[in-house]
Amino acid sequence: MKKIFAAALLALSLPLFAGEKYLFSSKKAVKDKESVKFNTEISAIDLVKDMKCGWNLGNTLDANAKQGLESETSWGQPLTTKEMIDAIAASGIKTIRIPCSWANHLIDDKYTIDSEWMKRVKQIVDWAIQDGMYVILNDHHDNLMPRGKGYYPSTLNYNESMLFVKNIWAQISLAFNKGYDEHLIFEVLNEPRRREHEHEWWYNQGCTLCRDAASSLNKLNQIALNTIRASGKNNAKRFVMVTGLAASINSYQADNSWKMPKDTEDGRILISVHLYTPYTFAMQNPGETTFEEKHAGELKYNFDWLNERFVSKGIPVVIGEYGATNKNNPEERAKWFEYFIRESSKYGMVSVLWDNGDWNASNTFEEKFGFFNRKTNEWYFPEILKTILDNCSNN
C-alpha cells in the first residue's frame, strides 16, 4: 500500500518546469497557448512611470467566502464585464490591479486550481490587456494558515505555506506566460502577515514572532519568484512585485529584517507597499475629516523615505493600494488626493486606488472606498478622478 501511495505521489510530482516538482494535476491546469513578444529593453523605472495611475478591482475576484464562479459576486459587487473594464480604461486609468484569491478555488489536496476559475481570471485580464492597460495579478486573501488551505508566515507553518505558494504560482505561471508581454505584472503576496496577532499590521522590532514572520516571508517571496522564473519564456523576464509584512512601509524600515529576494534577472523586481496614510484621516472611523499640514508632513516623510531606500537606487515602488475613506468631506478629501498623487509622482511611483465598491457614508465612515459605479460604469466622485489624473505627473 505504501509503495502504491509513493508511486501516485511521484506521478503528481513529475517535473513541469525544468528542475522543479509540483503536486498539482498538470492535466487539469490551464496552459497559455498564445505568443507575444516581450520588451526586454524597458527598465523597471521606465515601466512604472508608464503605468501612470491605477485602480483596483477590489472585493471581486479576491472574495473568498464561496467557491466556484459565484464567489466573484459574493461580496456584493456585480459581475465584471468587458464594458466595465473598457470604461475604466477610457476614463484615463492606465493600470488595473486585479486582486485574486485562490485557496477557495482548489479542487483537491494537491493545490490544483479549478480550471473554470483560472479561465475566468484570464478573461478579465485579457480584457484589460486588450485595452492597452497594465495589469497587476496577485495572490490576495490566502493568508489563511493555520486555519486551513493557504499560507501563514511562520516557521511552524512554513512547509505547508511553501507548498501552497509554490503550487499556486506554478499554475498561474502556466496560464499566464508567453501570451503576455510586459503589460502583465505578477504581485507575489498581498499584505502577508501574522493574522490575529497583536502586531498583525505593525512590525515590532522587539517581538520574536515578528522577526520569525519576516524571516518566513523572505523565504516565501523567494520561492514564489523562483517558481515564476522556472516557468521560462516571458516569465523569465516578467516584472514581479514583492512586499514586506502587511505591505506596510514600517516592515521595510524595521531592523533590516526584510530581504530583497535574489533574482536570476537584473532590475525586474518592484517594491509593493500600501499607504492609507495618515490613518486618522484616510481610514479611521470617525478619525479626522480635515486634511492638515501635519498630515501632509507624514505623507512627505513616507514618500521621501521610499525614494531614498528604493527609487534612488533604481528599484521602483508601486503603491498597490491607497485611498481616503469617504467621510462626507469632499473638499478635504480632494486636497488629500492632490497632495498624495502629486508628491508620489515626483518620485516616479505609481499609485493604485483601492476600490471596494462601498461609497455611501450615510451611516458610517468605515472603509468607504467606493469610487467607480460598476453598474452604471460611471465615477461616484468624478472630481477625485480628475484630481488624480491632473496630478499624476507621469501622464
**Looking at the annotation, which residues are catalytic?**
191, 321
Longest dimension (CA), the chain: 71
Going 121 to 63 to 105 to 217, the CA torsion angle's sign is positive
- DSSP H helices in 28-157: 44-51, 82-90, 115-130
Output Rg (C-alpha) for the chain, integer angstroms. 20
CB-CB neighbours of 92 under 10 Å:
15
Distances (CA, A) of 77 to 72, 127, 143, 262: 8, 18, 22, 38
Give the 3-state secondary structure of residue 322: strand
Distance CA 369, CA 355 (A): 5
CB-CB contact of 52 with 392 (8 Å)? yes
CB-CB contact of 110 with 25 (8 Å)? yes
What DSSP state is assigned to residue 184?
E
Distance CA 242, CA 208 (A): 23
Element (H, E) at 379: strand 378-379
What DSSP state is assigned to residue 113?
B
Distances (CA, A) of 86 to 90, 289, 304, 372: 6, 33, 35, 13
Contacts of 191 (CB under 8 A, 6+ apart): 143, 243, 246, 247, 274
Which of 104, 85, 101 shows the shortest CA–CA distance to 93? 85
Contacts of 382 (CB under 8 A, 6+ apart): none
